[in-house]
Chains A and B, each alone.
Chain A
Amino acid sequence: MMRPQDTARAPALLAVGISHRTAPVELREAVDFTRRGLDAALSAFAARGISPEAVVLSTCNRAEIYALGDTDTAAEQIRNFFIEYHGVDAGGVANHMYSLRGIDVARHLFRVAAGLDSLVVGEPQILGQVKTAYSTASDLQFAGTVTHRLFHAAFAVGKRVRSETGLGEGAVSVSYAAIELAKKIFGDLSGLSVLILGAGEMAELTGVHLRSQPVKQIAIASRTLASAEALARQLEGRAVPWSDLTRALSAADIIVTATGATEPVLTKTAIDDAMRARRNRPLFVIDIALPRDVEPSVGDLEQVFLYHMDDLQTIVSENLARRSTELAGAEAIVDEEVSKFATWLQAREIVPTIVALRQRFEQIRQSELRRLEPKLSGLTPEARARLDEITRLMFEKLLLTPTEQLKQIGEDAIAVDYAEALHRLFALTPEPSSSADKGDRPADLIPRARAR
């Protein structure tokens, strides 16, 4: 027996949104759904009764609503929801919004999940954000069969792209490249001591970035103790007087130099002494100053890894180049999964045909029973109930095989041909290709927003 949601005709997939490709950051901030919570946004959207299924995806680079609906009106309604929910100027936002329909929605979501639509192509966070968006909708019972299938296919695309291509590999920012290197040298960053030389803007930026890592402690040394102390307060670190530098050097596992000095601050001799004091444990020196703060020959010392700003930049540009060569592979995976999903969507089209076929038979049975009413009036209620059951079972039996057969060809494009043939043979309504949802079906078969 078919469950009610299986009999529901699938309205077209819709996606309406705004992203870094279409809108500047101020506008994206204005329509950020995460500010008031995804669940609040979903509930507000549900209250409008536009679509039985919906997922709200909101990151700092995009805000999108995935829904089911009947073409232009629904898309327009979703757009209005964006504007009214956030109370933004309609004229200003409308030009920056896009709306997609049908299989284009799947293609778009798959590319988003794979990181192909991201500002930094291949960044890994987006897949997690898509998962959160889906699970929020799912918890609120806003994800039905189509959404479920669509998003799980998107997760699969994200995973495949990550494991089968090198799209997400390699750091694409200097600070991330430095962190990645540190992890490759030390494994775990917790328990490491960081020393920052200098208290200027570059030192501050690096410090803030390192603070977000689980390092044990951050020490700041500057020629003026006051500025070191100021930065130390900001980074919850420790200020080191310049005179204590030798001790601080031997205690550090990672040294970042960003002073404004014109002569090298760290000489080979100084680092060599520090290495002896730290019994040759590995030391990672990052020199982001210009001119250099660290003598290049420091890199010749055993167990010392010296990277200058330029080296990190080279790594980043190599990674970016490598990512762009992986794009084709990632797009191919998206294509493949889109066509799989398209086949599934198409196969779903057979379901309304099955419903229509069964209804047609039921209509015939009912009208025949009505027509024979005068001849049956002499029967006892038990006998009439018996007759009703016998005819019903007979029709059930007749329809059983065709129904099963139709469901089996479900995963095939031939299904569409079968549907058309059935519609002709049995004069079924509505047409399988029409996306309108105004058939003469009983009310309980029309999809509605499920109550929470």
Chain B
Amino acid sequence: MHLVPLVFYAAAAAAYLTHFAWRDPRVGRLATALLGGAVLAHAFLIGMQTVSVGHAPLVGTTAAISAFVWLLGLSYLYVEITTDERAMGVFVVPLLVVLDIIPALDPAISPRPPLLQSPLFTLHIVSMLFAYASFALAFVLGVTYVLLFKEIKAKHLGFFYARLPSLQALDAMNGRVVTIGWIFLTLGIAVGGLWATQIHASTDPRAQAMGIGDPKILVALLSWCVYSFALLARRAIGWSGRRAAWLSAIAFVIVLLNFVPVGYFFTKSHNF
């Protein structure tokens, strides 16, 4: 059962690629349907896990990745359906496939330690995951912006010119999703900080490690700074377009590094 979403995501990715290359609208509709199927199957899987362990499967990096993949798939579908623009899928869905390999290989759900039995914990995780999903979309929008920008600037109108929406649309969407992501990131960090002070008395070594010196927390704050700068620069000094695109792309690389390698190997506070 835990492999079903991955199979659907992979099939959807193949369909998005085919659609992007050949632009057959039927394949495009198939791709959307497959992704919809993947998100549904994934929701079902998460629901089953919730029922079997008695709490939402958000404990540990693997479970968080699974939830992230599902949220990103859902957010992307929302964007695709509201904007009627399918070209982004070719960049988003392969990312879902790669990330979903991790929970598919390790489907065991870790029990929830007493430390995490707080509504603040759930709020913290859900906010962070929403923020990451928004930033992932901003990353894709940024990358596509740069690709299209290069073609138009170099006067070689080709592959991306024929397939992507306008620069203006990509830039405006980028600004919007970064704003949404920043709001959730701020909320997630604030709630995390509040919760960390509440559990500081705990003897759990992880609770003791909650502090500015922990790589996971440090890098999260760093990414908050980068996104804050991106928002500020867009409003104050007209950093839109290519600069904003680069910023959102680089910032998401930081987020992704923090999410996967730091989450698995370096953090002492977030290794549940």
Contact = CB atoms under 8 A, between A and B. Distances in A.
Interface of A: 163-164, 166, 169-170, 181, 183-188, 279-282, 299, 302-303, 305, 307, 311, 314-315, 318
B168 A186 contact: yes
B238 interface: yes
B24 A163 contact: yes
B239 interface: yes
Given A279-B238, A303-B242, A184 B161 contact: yes
Interface in B9-45: 23-25
Given A282-B167, A315-B155, 18 more contacts: A169-B162, A183-B166, A184-B161, A184-B166, A184-B167, A185-B152, A185-B168, A186-B166, A186-B167, A187-B166, A187-B167, A187-B168, A188-B168, A279-B237, A280-B240, A281-B240, A302-B242, A311-B155
A166 B243 CA distance: 33
A20 to B, nearest CB: 28
B148 interface: yes
Contacts of B242: 302-303
B103 interface: no
A217 B165 CA distance: 24
A303 B239 CA distance: 10
Contacts of B152: 181, 184-185, 305
A185 B167 contact: yes
A166 B24 CA distance: 11
7 contacts: A170-B157, A187-B165, A187-B167, A187-B169, A281-B238, A314-B155, A318-B157
Interface string B156-174: 0100011001111100000
B42 to A, nearest CB: 31
Interface in B232-252: 237-243
Interface in B129-144: none
Interface string B168-211: 11000000000000000000000000000000000000000000
Contacts of A164: 24
Interface in B209-247: 237-243
B112 to A, nearest CB: 47
Given A163-B25, A181-B152, A305-B153, A280 B167 contact: no
Contacts of A186: 166-168
Nearest to B152: A305
